[in-house]
Amino acid sequence: MVKRQQPVPVTVIGDNFMLPDAFTASLRRLDDLAFDITQAHQAWPDVDMTHGYAGESGNDVSDLAGLKEYFGTPEDIIPLVETAEILICHLPPITHSVIAAAPHLKLIGVSRGGPINIDMDAARSREIHVVNTPGRNAGAVAEFTIGMILAQTRLITTGHTALSTTGDWSGHLYRADTTGRELSEMTVGIIGYGHIGTKVVRHLKSFGCRILVCDPYVQLSPQDLDDGVEQVSLEVILAAADIVSLHPRVTPETTGMIGKAEFEQMKDGAYFINTARGPLVDYDALYDALTSGKLAGAGLETFGIEPVPVDWPLLKLPNVTLTPHIAGASVKTVTNAADMLAEEVRRFLNDEPLINLVS
């Protein structure tokens, strides 16, 4: 490729997690390339994003329809992209109107596992390449999942809540008939064997538990097979696992995949962990399973509607560990995403194949 005489116009739109300075720093490390970078800093997560999962599409339904998670409005974004050839972003809504207002745009890099804030039809119609960053937060979410499991099985949440809210020492938790169980004597079922599920499996091996995996589209690695990990059906996991942990993406096939029938198939006294996405689960059915005693507890990191309504019944249960969708939040996630997108930019400008091109 002939070296360009002028710097490449790039717009970087970050926020208080995916810092625009981190993206810019990764681009600047590409010594052979020159950029004219425009930065913008959005207020998320200090201000909530919009979730299209719940049917919200903003004021302009025709423009925002189909976007699943985004922050801001197209009107906010259009002035930032009018001269850009490359857009690096995290959460802004890249709608039909935004793309139409950016006649020079050739590449969009989004620091997400999927381009759920981008109108892909509009991008395709303009032959704009879109790349994402799958696996950028896999390590963070996998570690967090182990924490969720231990918070439930070793009664960390139960003991903390009693001590912090009422000062109850809860000495009864040392009783043999009420205390927790070690993972070495339990079976853990992992649903979804992608970037995160594979890392959760890797971490679980050190605990000595039996590990079952369900993913109809992926085969176990030779190493996991050698280590005794078993690939089974969803029905086998539900019936055999003491802990069921969700890790698939949200698709039409997986939406609502765990509901009343699935909870009924689970072992009495099992634990349910969701560090994936809220739409995978029927939360009313989960509430019933928890309050009836069918399940011993749950660890919930994601929800169907975010933020969760303050009067939501699941918030009041003593046997549930709750966190506000922070499993993927780590400094390494930020640097991973920035470096991955910078490499895609380098490849694009040197006419090399893109790694994570979204079809």
| Residues involved in catalysis | 277, 306, 325
User: What percent of the chain is helix, strand and coil (3-state, nearest 5)?
Assistant: 35, 20, 45
Contact assessment for residue 57 and residue 65, using Cβ atoms and an 8 Å cutoff: yes
What are residue 213's phi and psi, to 5 degrees? Answer: -130, 135
Distances (CA, A) of 307 to 46, 254, 287: 12, 22, 18
Nearest by Cα to 112 from 152, 78, 68, 80 = 68
- Interacting residues of 116 by C-beta distance below 8 A, sequence separation 6+: 52, 67, 68, 69, 70
For residue 94, the Cα-to-chain-centroid distance in whole angstroms is 19
As a whole number of angstroms, the distance between CA 309 and CA 71 comes to 19
- Angle at the Cα of 114 from the Cα atoms of 110 and 120, rounded to 5 degrees: 80
- Residue written as token pair 């004597």: 185
Structure token digits, residue 58: 């903003």
Nearest by Cα to 141 from 321, 1, 294, 273 = 273
C-alpha atoms less than 13 angstroms from C-alpha of 94 in its C-beta half-sphere: 31
As a whole number of angstroms, the distance between CA 78 and CA 97 comes to 8
